[in-house]
A and B are shown apart, each in its own frame.
Chain A
Amino acid sequence: AQSVTQLGSHVSVSEGALVLLRCNYSSSVPPYLFWYVQYPNQGLQLLLKYTSAATLVKGINGFEAEFKKSETSFHLTKPSAHMSDAAEYFCAVSDGGGSNYKLTFGKGTLLTVNP
């Protein structure tokens, strides 16, 4: 069974500071990994995805994530936080197909950006 653990349900940073949101996964097969963002009263929007190509993945809005198989991690980073980055972020894992494909989400991390 696949699962995702997001460390820290709430992260607070100052504007301009580094953003680091942590995600560890468990999967019995090589995983596909995703980060989604949810703004208030909206659906989830894909930030970036890892699909077994480059281990460093760049996404929208200046975010990137690095797949580390030895650590079973897929942490999300952004060098400099903007006020507009305040939202909830979800890490997700997929087995990538076959006859039993599904996407499993972590509990989410709420990012607050202080002026």
Chain B
Amino acid sequence: DAGVIQSPRHEVTEMGQEVTLRCKPISGHDYLFWYRQTMMRGLELLIYFNNNVPIDDSGMPEDRFSAKMPNASFSTLKIQPSEPRDSAVYFCASSLLGTGGTEAFFGQGTRLTVV
């Protein structure tokens, strides 16, 4: 398996623009997570899905953020409108419950810069 695939790897956008981050989880995994990493806050869980259903979105900072998982092989995280404080590295991860420890596999991340 190619692992968790995120796109794009880097994104530079202007304030006010819509940004869409994409994630393809490992085939067969039933959990998908979106994390945000910044120097100030470290790794923050934004939202996670189980079998394509959002379970906990309490980490989503505000209504400008939304996430979808239309099927088991694809998820998006959208920011509309984007702001400079959204600049961060966004990670997607997936896992398979029942593997005795629920290890999460991470993608390479998308580095977002909002100017």
B18 lies within 8 A of chain A by Cβ: no
Q: Mark A74-115, 1 if CB is under 8 A from B, else 0.
A: 000000000000000010001011011111111110000000
B101 lies within 8 A of chain A by Cβ: yes
Q: Tally of A-B residue pairs with Cβ under 8 A?
A: 62
How close is A24's CB to chain B, nearest CB, in angstroms? 16
Report Cα–Cα, A63/B19, bound state, in Å. 39
Q: Which of B35, B98, B104 has the most CB of A within 10 A?
A: B104
Report Cα–Cα, A103/B93, bound state, in Å. 10
Q: A100-B55, A103-B33 are in contact. Are A45 and B42 (CB under 8 A)?
A: no
B107 lies within 8 A of chain A by Cβ: yes
Residue of A nearest to B100 (CB): A51
Report Cα–Cα, A61/B108, bound state, in Å. 20
How close is B74's CB to chain A, nearest CB, in angstroms? 18
Chain A interface, number of residues (Cβ within 8 angstroms):
25
Check B42 against A105 for contact (C-beta < 8 Å).
yes
Q: A34-B103, A90-B43 are in contact. Are A97 and B48 (CB under 8 A)?
A: no
Check A102 against B91 for contact (C-beta < 8 Å).
no
Check B43 against A43 for contact (C-beta < 8 Å).
no
Report Cα–Cα, A94/B100, bound state, in Å. 11
Q: Which of A34, A94, A97, A101 has the most CB of B within 10 A?
A: A101
How close is A65's CB to chain B, nearest CB, in angstroms? 13
Report Cα–Cα, A46/B101, bound state, in Å. 12
Chain B residues, Cβ within 8 Å of A46 = 103-105
Check B43 against A101 for contact (C-beta < 8 Å).
no
Q: Mark B18-53, 1 if CB is under 8 A from A, else 0.
A: 000000000000010101000000110100101000
Residue of B nearest to A107 (CB): B42
Check A102 against B56 for contact (C-beta < 8 Å).
yes
Q: A101-B31, A102-B33, A103-B102 are in contact. Are A43 and B91 (CB under 8 A)?
A: yes
Within B76-111, which residues are at the interface with A (CB < 8 Å)?
91, 93, 95, 97-98, 100-109
Check A43 against B108 for contact (C-beta < 8 Å).
yes
Report Cα–Cα, A99/B101, bound state, in Å. 15
Other than A34-B101, A103-B95, give 19 A-B pairs with Cβ distance below 8 A: A42-B109, A43-B4, A43-B108, A43-B109, A44-B91, A45-B106, A46-B105, A49-B103, A51-B101, A90-B43, A94-B101, A96-B102, A102-B33, A102-B56, A103-B93, A103-B102, A104-B45, A105-B45, A107-B42
